[in-house]
């Protein structure tokens, strides 16, 4: 029976074989890789992944789709985690793993932020997302796309915008352009130096009013003398500061608190 795409789950199913081939060409899965696919849907990507992998973990919220996967042709080679990925416990996966998926666009940022907590065990991530979100992820300072998402993710990952995917490659077609991003966590030693809570707090505060000068947005949050020590001028605006500089400031603040 044909599955009726559910809007609330962001269901747009990939139908273009050449996009799947390109996705796999970049991912280059190896038989001993542990791979988690978020949102397998009708299995377009799942099937291509299973050509290279003996086994795959899939996380799917839609009861009907999860049932199809549990009962379908790949049943024995899949571990189907029928749950909301935002509640998924990655502890269910052993060892280090790779994460892939054509993500539900309405919750792509929360999925990315949740995965930040698992960067120690993640080998890499390769996702199809709304192109506009990927543009923001990889944006350079002083551009209109540069924001909280750019600063937070650039601190933890090397990221590459691989290629764009037009709406007609899906059924039903989404209203927006899509793209593929590859993300690799930076070395553990570098990530360990980021005081996460402080970093997240100052970045959120900075971008709460991105056009204002930081001496105003950070009033009561960051002493400007400390910001100046890492080369951030009181008159600078949030979008002018590189991710590295926010990290350096978070480190100073954290040191001062100890």
CB of 57 to ligand SAM, least distance (A): 12
Return the residue of 50, 65, 139, 227 that touches ligand SAM, per CB under 6 A: 65
Note whether 11 binds ligand SAM by CB under 6 A: yes
Interface segment toward ligand SAM; rule CB under 6 A; list 39-47, 92-100, 149-157, 226-234 = 39-47
- Cα separation, 182 vs 218, in Å, equals 33
Element (H, E) at 25: helix 17-27
Q: Are 240 and 217 in contact (CB under 8 A)?
A: no
- Cα separation, 70 vs 155, in Å, equals 38
- Counted residue by residue, the chain has a size of 258
CB of 213 to ligand SAM, least distance (A): 39
Distance, C-alpha 97 to centroid of its chain: 15
CB of 205 to ligand SAM, least distance (A): 29
Dihedral of CA 56/59/64/70: which sign? positive
Which CB atom, from 61 or from 155, has the smaller least distance to ligand SAM? 61
Note whether 14 binds ligand SAM by CB under 6 A: yes
Note whether 35 binds ligand SAM by CB under 6 A: no
Note whether 115 binds ligand SAM by CB under 6 A: no
103 Cβ partners below 8 Å, 6+ apart? 10, 38, 39, 111, 127, 128, 129
CB of 239 to ligand SAM, least distance (A): 30
Alpha-carbon distances, residue 83 vs 36, 64, 65, 92, 226 (angstroms): 13, 12, 11, 12, 44
Note whether 59 binds ligand SAM by CB under 6 A: yes
- Contacts with ligand SAM in 71-90 (CB under 6 A)? 84-86
Return the residue of 44, 53, 80, 139 that touches ligand SAM, per CB under 6 A: 44
Binding site for ligand SAM (CB under 6 A): 9-14, 39-42, 44-45, 59-62, 65, 84-86, 102, 104, 107
């Amino acid at each position: 029976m044909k599955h009726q795409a559910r809007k609330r789950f962001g269901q747009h199913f990939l139908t273009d074989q050449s996009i799947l081939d390109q996705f796999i060409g970049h991912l280059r899965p190896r038989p001993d890789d542990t791979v988690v696919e978020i949102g397998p849907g009708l299995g377009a990507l799942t099937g291509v992944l299973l050509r290279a992998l003996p086994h795959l973990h899939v996380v799917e919220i839609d009861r009907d789709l999860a049932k199809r996967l549990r009962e379908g042709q790949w049943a024995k080679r899949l571990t189907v985690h029928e749950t909301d990925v935002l509640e998924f416990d990655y502890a269910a996966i052993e060892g280090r793993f790779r994460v892939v998926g054509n993500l539900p666009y309405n919750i792509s940022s929360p999925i990315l932020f949740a995965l930040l907590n698992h960067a120690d065990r993640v080998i890499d991530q390769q996702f199809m997302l709304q192109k506009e979100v990927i543009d923001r992820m990889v944006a350079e300072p002083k551009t209109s796309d540069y924001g909280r998402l750019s600063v937070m993710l650039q601190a933890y990952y090397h990221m590459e915008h691989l290629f764009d995917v037009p709406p007609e490659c899906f059924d039903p077609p989404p209203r927006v352009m899509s793209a593929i991003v590859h993300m690799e966590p930076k070395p553990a030693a570098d990530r360990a130096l980021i005081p996460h809570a402080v970093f997240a707090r100052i970045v959120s505060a900075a971008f709460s009013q991105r056009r204002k000068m930081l001496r105003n947005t950070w009033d009561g949050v960051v002493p400007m003398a400390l910001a100046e020590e890492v080369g951030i001028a009181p008159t600078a605006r949030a979008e002018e500061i590189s991710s590295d500089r926010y990290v350096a400031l978070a480190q100073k603040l954290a040191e001062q608190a100890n």
